Amino acid sequence: MSSRAVTIRDVAERAQVSISTVSHTFSGSRPISAQTRERVLAAARELGYDANPSARSLRTGRSGLIGLFLRPRYAVAGTPDRAETFNRLVGSVATEMLRRKTGLIHVPDLHDPAVASVPMDGCLVAHPYGSDEVLAEVQRRGIPTVTVEEDPDRPELAWAVRLDYPRVVTGLLEHLREQGAREITLLSGTEDNAWNRRPRQTYLDWCARIGIRPRTGLLSEGLSGEETAARARELLTAADRPDAFVVCTCDSAAVFVKVAAELGIGVPGELLLAALTDSEHGRVANPRITAMDLNHEVLAEQAVELMFARLSRAAEPKEPVTVDPVLRLRESTARPPH
């Protein structure tokens, strides 16, 4: 070996296993066969690799800390239960870091002077905006970065984990069509990120493909419950009310269910309703709400895996890692057969 620091990638090459296998061997986060474990440990001993983050930092200048930038401005709006989607993501990232004996710091403001003194070996930028300024700045500073979801204006960035929205959103729309919906309105959020852009474009493409008129609107993620109810009442009492709504957030969809009941509109009998996130609001609503689960646990696991690969000087991936959201079909879109 040369005088440079030995990395996890070097150990993987010597043991002839994947980087993730070396990571799991030292963290204990996944079962590894005794034979493979011994091969990895032998390679580490031969190369002088120390898996302890604190010991490594003395030799390599690394801090053993990864930063997390949670970009959506409404991620923690309102009460904590409204933020379930992001709680799942942050909690899953923290768990994956603990398995690898690495610290995680949440960075609320990149331009805060206190942040400049915090050493970060790398950072995760979660749900970035289009042409995200924070992503651009951490890259300018030379901090190894992985995005959890893609910057929709920079799909060429390969150090990213993204969600396969077209497949699941198309499946949802086909399901609504099979249940008898002929006029479907999509209410996107106002945040300019992939979660809003990709489903909206998928919806427009689907409408063009089957030859129906697209009906879209905006519903800000930052609205209060009262403001959402007022918007729902306006849409549900309109003369040209559609027979199905796909609403951005699950808590907003739950408000639509409540307002529909107050107006005497049956769900799913007269109106089908689905959401582009899944949370407890949808699971306890009456009826329970069909939703797209963003699969944040797998998203976090893959992003952390990619972060460690990057820190280990692995070759840049040819393309981002793709994770499938999960379509949770429930009673709000299930009309009984005639």
* Percent of the chain residues topping a pLDDT of 70: 88
Assigned domain for 274 exists: yes
Predicted confidence (pLDDT) at residue 45 exceeds the cutoff of 90: no
Residues 181 and 199 in one domain: yes
**Which class for 181: exposed (0-12), middle (13-18), buried (19 or more C-beta within 10 A)?**
buried
Assigned domain for 229 exists: yes
Residues 67 and 36 in one domain: no
Q: Which residue has the tokens 């998203």?
A: 299
Q: Which pLDDT tens digit goes with each residue over 151-183?
A: 999 999 999 999 999 999 999 999 999 999 999
Assigned domain for 57 exists: no
Assigned domain for 1 exists: no
What's this model's pTM, rounded to 2 decimal places? 0.80
Assigned domain for 56 exists: no
Cis preceding-peptide flag for 113 (omega within 30 of 0): no
Residues 130 and 213 in one domain: no
User: How many domains, the chain?
Assistant: 3
Q: What is the pLDDT of residue 116?
A: 60
Residues 18 and 102 in one domain: no
Residues 90 and 142 in one domain: yes
Average pLDDT over residues 210-223: 94
Give the CATH number for residue 300: 3.40.50.2300
Q: What is the pLDDT of residue 29?
A: 59
Closest residue by Cα to residue 93 from 122, 116, 119, 73 = 122
Domain hosting residue 46, numbered range: 8-51
Q: Which pLDDT tens digit goes with each residue over 132-158?
A: 999 999 998 889 999 999 999 999 999
Q: What is the pLDDT of residue 57?
A: 43
Residues 283 and 319 in one domain: no
pLDDT top residue among 253 and 337: 253
Residues 283 and 216 in one domain: yes
**Rg (the chain; Cα; Å):** 23
Residues 206 and 148 in one domain: no
Residues 233 and 143 in one domain: no
Residues 287 and 141 in one domain: no
Phi, psi (5° rounding) for residue 70?
-95, 105
Residues 320 and 259 in one domain: no
Residues 300 and 158 in one domain: yes
d(C-alpha 74, C-alpha 79), whole Å: 11
